[in-house]
Structure 1
């Protein structure tokens, strides 16, 4: 399970987890938390108007999502439109696009200054999708983010990608931060934040995501990529705040913002004056859980004990299928194929 395991981990597990997450289960649990917005510090429910009033005073607003949950993207629409209605002109930053994609995103926004026919709009969308490297993603996933970009075009909002380029991310994952070239290292920003407790914590998360399996070298490379991405996104957010007026709204996966770590503490490391607030768009757990379990602070040595976010907005799950069950089946198939290969190709 050496190189074969690594290959499987990178190229097979993640698609399995993503595909399982998008399978709709016809039996949805009726959980009393669904639809509620909870102040995670106090455990008290608030209404939408109170949420908007509070977040409007902050410089950076994280709308932390589960990428494939349609309800999370609907909430993002609602929040953005409400801020605009209240007279604000937010800037939108996207994890799913790199900072290098920003000129293409801005060209798309600029295209809204002139009316176009539906045919021309279709061509513009197709060209943008190709330039962003999204022509190989599912139409559903593309629509989630394209619909947010259309708000920016309609309202003439500034938009930006905040992540590293995909090719560089893959290079770090394959070679590790010490294995890439000096030229590539010059493309990477570092906050110099290092902490063994946080590293160990992220290793445990990687192991959990990969259904209990771990591989020392692979985890090290995943962590290198994770840190490089978070540092880059923190720098991008700082730059957006510095150069643009109005709050910066960040569309990002919840793992990058949980417990104020990942991106949030790195933004603070760059500029302590930036006021940040995190709304975790939270799917209910696979099995019923109490509110106290959702807002339980993380006890990590060297870090302040804080709840997972400032606010939790609870939603239905996309799926109740356990992706690790599918992974186990695929792993058994992989082992069988490996054994057959070795049997039919004995060493000379």
Structure 2
């Protein structure tokens, strides 16, 4: 046997032994409260029925709703791919569709309109809204949504509160706002939702020392975010201008405490929540968190934390 033959055989043997020893990491799975099986990334689960459903069934179920919320973990690329898939599919079934976006603040509406109508370039648009400062997450994650809106001339609503006001509330509370500042926010800001408060208290305690006064300011700021976005969505629905699909962080739609409930408090509407859900381990998912969850892997990358809330 030649040296070359011996070398090839040895290499093949090493490859076989090496490959046999490889252990491919198993993707994370999750339990869902009250259901016996475990669920894996890529599955869409109807949390009301407990059944895994196909994408086409999801779209058929949600397309008739007045207001569709699609959440995200801001830095997860899979979640943004889910959003554009849902937008394209829902738009194909709708004669009139408006997009509501957490990523833009209400004063930026004229710049958003100019971009969607093709009046300014993408570079001019990003400079006009000061994207890096006012949102901060990689724009390429959101670009497909904005490109489709521009191509199809969809109306895009800038629904978020001015970030400077939210930061001021988080530091010194609602009562510290000047009258001219308070007038930029909804008249009614509900701070009485006990389950919402308890959830945010738990999150707050995981990130910061337990300072009750500062938590109150933090909670007020979160409610300012939610109430402002709910107010703008409700205003659109009340105008009769057609169906809405809103893109926000998961934290604003979890259990419908945030924007969804605060929207329907203002205007009667059929609402559905779809939450892209990153699986980080062997968690158990509460069936009340959304109407549907689309399970994904956690984010492979970490982008800037941007201007959003905790999630």
TM-score by length of 1: 0.72
> Aligned to 1:50, what secondary structure does the other structure show?
helix
**Residue 83 (structure 1) shift:** 1.7
Separation (CA, whole Å) in 2 of partners of 1:258 and 1:202: 11
Separation (CA, whole Å) in 2 of partners of 1:215 and 1:221: 10
**Residue 224 (structure 1) shift:** 1.1
Q: Is the 8 A contact 2:134 2:163 kept in 1?
A: no
Match of 1:180 in 2: 177
**Residue 146 (structure 1) shift:** 2.7
Pair 1:274-2:255 in alignment: no
Distance 1:125 1:139, change over 3 A: farther
Q: Is the 8 A contact 1:190 1:228 kept in 2?
A: no
Work out which of the two has the higher radius of gyration on C-alpha atoms and give 1 or 2.
2
Note the residue ranges of structure 2 that are not aligned, 5 or more in a row: 1-23, 30-38, 303-311
Match of 1:110 in 2: 117
> Aligned to 1:161, what secondary structure does the other structure show?
strand
Q: Is the 8 A contact 2:69 2:273 kept in 1?
A: yes
Pair 1:150-2:144 in alignment: no
RMSD: 2.4
Runs of 4+ that moved beyond 6 A: 137-140
**Residue 218 (structure 1) shift:** 2.2
> Aligned to 1:270, what secondary structure does the other structure show?
coil
Q: 1:295 aligns with which of 272, 286, 291?
A: 286
**1:213-252 residue pairs with structure 2 within 5 A?**
213-243=209-239, 245-252=241-248
> Aligned to 1:93, what secondary structure does the other structure show?
strand
Q: Tell me which protein shows more helix as a share of its residues.
A: 1
Distance 1:74 1:28, change over 3 A: farther
**Residue 139 (structure 1) shift:** 8.3
**Residue 151 (structure 1) shift:** 0.5
**1:1-348 residue pairs with structure 2 within 5 A?**
29=27, 31=29, 32-111=39-118, 124-136=121-133, 141-195=138-192, 197-198=194-195, 199-208=197-206, 210=207, 213-243=209-239, 245-271=241-267, 273-284=268-279, 286-289=280-283, 293-296=284-287, 307-319=288-300
> Aligned to 2:84, what secondary structure does the other structure show?
helix
> Aligned to 1:178, what secondary structure does the other structure show?
helix
Note the residue ranges of structure 1 that are not aligned, 5 or more in a row: 1-25, 113-122, 297-306, 322-348
Q: C-alpha deviations, 1:39-74, integer Å up to 9, x for none?
A: 111211111111111111101000011011111110
Q: C-alpha deviations, 1:116-173, integer Å up to 9, x for none?
A: xxxxxxx821221122121348986211223211110001100011010111112212
TM-score by length of 2: 0.80
